Amino acid sequence: MNGLRKSLLLLLSPCLLVCMATAHAADSVTVPGYAPKTGVEYVYRSHKTTSTDMSLWFNKPAAIMRGDFRQSMTVLSRNTANIRVRWSLSADLPQRAEGIADSYAMNALYRNSLSAYGVHQLEYEAGLNGFPSKLIGFDAILRNIQSAAVVGPGGFVSAPESNLTDIIESIKSNPILVIHNLAPEAELLSTIQEQDSAAYNVGQTGTASTVEYSRSVPVPVTIGWKLEAADLAKQTATFSLKKTYDSIALQRSQASTVEGVIASFGEKAKQLTGEQLAAARIVSKDVTMTFIVSLRDGSTLEATETVAAQSGGMKITMMSHVWREDIPASLPELSNWNSQDVSASVVAPLPERGTNPTAITSQLAARSTLEEGQAAYDSGNYAGALRYWKPLADQGTAAAQYKLAGLYQSGLGVDRDPALAATYIRKAADQGWAEAQSSLSDLYAVGQDVPQDHAQAVIWGRKAAEQGLAVAQYNLGYSYESGQGVPRDYAQALIWYRRAADQGFATAQYALGLLYDQGLGVSQDYGQAVDWYKKAADQGLHVAQGNLGNMYAMGHGVARDRAEAIKWFRKAADQGLATAQESLKRLERQE
């Protein structure tokens, strides 16, 4: 959405036509900059549906979930640079909701989300167009969801492969995702809002290009918009917008995921015809939106959005209809809102990593067994951990396979057997378990129990890196920097180091600092080098502390400061870094 926001700013900000005082509804209009009243609560209704079609894999119709929500938004303050906004959130069905409560499965899911995040209000700073830019109170939200990842709904201890773990890693690197997950209305409504006023002809169209990222692969996106109509009596303008994704780039970004999905269906996948298999490999995505904007204050009064995506033989269509409650809705209701196929219960999730979709065992039983094994391991009872994990591993649970590999690799509770450890690592890696993929990459890199093969190391490391595993992202960056398994490419090294560094991975922060320090893959920037060295040094990484000492000693990127140089050299020297010990001696002799 941020990429879209930038594109629309370029599209809509210029005053393309001067609006005449005598303009009629079919001629031209001026859309003012976004100027909501401060301190006024605006209430919004939201209808949402999600249709999931897996008929290629299962002989059943598409499952449709729906949700009916009533949220409120208040602009708390405004200055010349930004505004501060609060959304009050609720999973409760509005009083005027039609049909039985059980037919609104999305409300139940959203209630669980609010419980996991531990909030019923979100406050954030936004640009003058209302688009979120900085979440307020993120640390408390992060603590809440980290707690929920340990003890889930109903008091169950969450499994290591809990979806909450993935959410935690995502929001750590981008806290705005909390708003995206809990108050998507905030982003949708602000998509078309602008900081400054602009004039348009009815029927006027425009296009722009931007780039979005899908599993770290840049996907070019073309955005087309049109002013469909204007109603001077109601003081509104209606815009339509469509996003078209580059099919080749999108296909490339999802290729490994699609093949993993197909492989996970085992014998069922082998029974597909050539035509069905080709359909399973199709990847597509289209987004269409309609907005009704106020000509009084530039705010979005009503919006609809349809996102249609296809990947791995699954088709998902997500639709939203949001309108301000004090103004009657005028856009058409969602096409599947009252479908007879609306589910009265939560749609079963896709199989988690490490499960067989044709024979899913009880997740709670497996979860309990995994945790009992972990408890035994933590207490030093490695033989007990082996008894818990091995049956699960042999049944195909990836988490257990990966844990069991650790026992065989270290000889804990069982005779050391690195070859068998490698076998279990590969089993888990083949199922998409990121940590196992990273470990298999390490085995290929050093030639341990597999032939040394740097190209294979990169292939497996990339799979884990694309899932967001920081250590794998760092290792992939190192492969590009060193030219092991791939042609040397400092620009790519910079990209992967940064992704790991943004997750707080100290070694990647140090490596990123080195690239800026030496001007490799990027223009030399001592200031950036100091910033990244400092992040890693604060985590205790001795080489980063030594390099930070050098920056202060030489005045690179910071004012020369002998005392600071000595402080950081001493920290590194105390950890045994020989170069820091020598540098510290030289500086102390100068006293």
Distance from C-alpha of 545 to C-alpha of 553, rounded to nearest angstrom = 12
Q: Which residues pair with 122 in a beta bridge?
A: 87
CATH of the domain spanning 2-324: 2.30.230
* CB 279 within 8 Å of CB 54: no
AA letter at 374? Q
pLDDT of residue 380: 83
**pLDDT tens digits for 8-60?**
333 333 222 223 223 344 488 999 999 999 999 999 999 999 988 888 887 77
**pLDDT tens digits for 499-548?**
999 888 899 999 999 999 999 989 999 999 999 999 999 988 999 999 99
CATH 1.25.40.10 assigned to 366-589: yes
Q: Look at residue 202 and give its three-state secondary structure.
A: coil
The CA–CA distances, whole Å, from 301 to 1, 36, 433 equal 19, 11, 44
pLDDT of residue 473: 92
pLDDT of residue 164: 66
pLDDT of residue 590: 73
pLDDT of residue 229: 94
pLDDT of residue 216: 64
CATH 2.30.230 residue window(s) in the chain: 2-324
Distance from C-alpha of 438 to C-alpha of 470, rounded to nearest angstrom = 10
Buried b (16+ CB within 10 A) or exposed e, 312-322: bbbbbbbbbbb
Q: Which residues does 174 contact at the CB level (< 8 Å), separation at least 6?
A: none
Q: Which residues pair with 229 in a beta bridge?
A: 238
pLDDT of residue 259: 82
CATH 1.25.40.10 residue window(s) in the chain: 366-589
> What residues of the chain score a pLDDT lower than 70?
1-26, 149-164, 166, 215-216, 343-369, 591
Q: Which two tokens stand for residue 565?
A: 């140089």
Find tokens 């057997």 and name the residue.
Answer: 417
Distance from C-alpha of 498 to C-alpha of 500, rounded to nearest angstrom = 5
pLDDT of residue 483: 93
